[in-house]
Chain A
């Protein structure tokens, strides 16, 4: 089983709608990182969360880490075509700076 579960695997959202992607671990996370990937390209760093209850925002994207540090969510408000891509969460599960990644959520924005 995956140590880091992402849901949903894919998401089709109408432009302008809000959406949420989740990332869940059975272990307490030392750090949680959100990335975005366009097909065939490298990962672009979005946000890093380290403290329980932490929340960060950048433009229309908000990421949260729960108090237990086992679940994170990425919320996009008023989605735009530029938000389309694959979103991956990466987590430090062992406190050794090595990241375990989820399998990703493919986001499609339709007009």
Chain B
């Protein structure tokens, strides 16, 4: 069966520090991968989308970037965090067209 792992679960970082969140999927190959942010009281906002290694689609201009160095690994990064980067970050995967997305447990990021 397929599983998705996200870490860390919780992160507290100072403003201006770098960020690296990791997401890996097991039990499948060539998944579509997604990064979302969920701000308090708001719905999920799609940040990045990837259909293959090295292929990243950015949905909104922001202070973050994503990379996919391996087929089942998706990384969310920032060189300098802003206060507005606080939130709950979720990674998801699916097999492609008309397939449900499956989510990891999320990372709660607090910027001080």
Residue numbers of A with Cβ under 8 A of B are 2, 4, 30-31, 33, 35, 40-45, 48, 50, 88, 90, 97-104
Contact = CB atoms under 8 A, between A and B. Distances in A.
A104 B43 contact: yes
A65 to B, nearest CB: 14
Contacts of A104: 43
B7 interface: no
Contact of B90 (A4, A43, A50): A43
Given A43-B90, A50-B98, A101 B44 contact: yes
Contacts, number: 53
11 contacts: A30-B98, A40-B88, A40-B106, A40-B108, A41-B105, A42-B6, A97-B97, A99-B44, A100-B46, A101-B43, A103-B42
A33 B59 CA distance: 20
B43 A103 contact: yes
Interface in B69-93: 88, 90, 92
Interface of B: 6, 32, 41-44, 46, 49, 59, 88, 90, 92, 94, 96-98, 100-106, 108
Given A97-B96, A97-B97, A42 B105 contact: yes
A8 to B, nearest CB: 15
Contact of B106 (A4, A33, A42, A102): A42
B46 to A, nearest CB: 6
A99 B46 contact: yes
A64 B43 CA distance: 21
A2 to B, nearest CB: 8
B66 to A, nearest CB: 14
B47 to A, nearest CB: 11
A104 B43 CA distance: 7
A20 to B, nearest CB: 20
Contacts of A97: 32, 94, 96-98
Given A40-B108, A41-B106, A97-B32, A33 B101 contact: yes
A99 B102 CA distance: 12
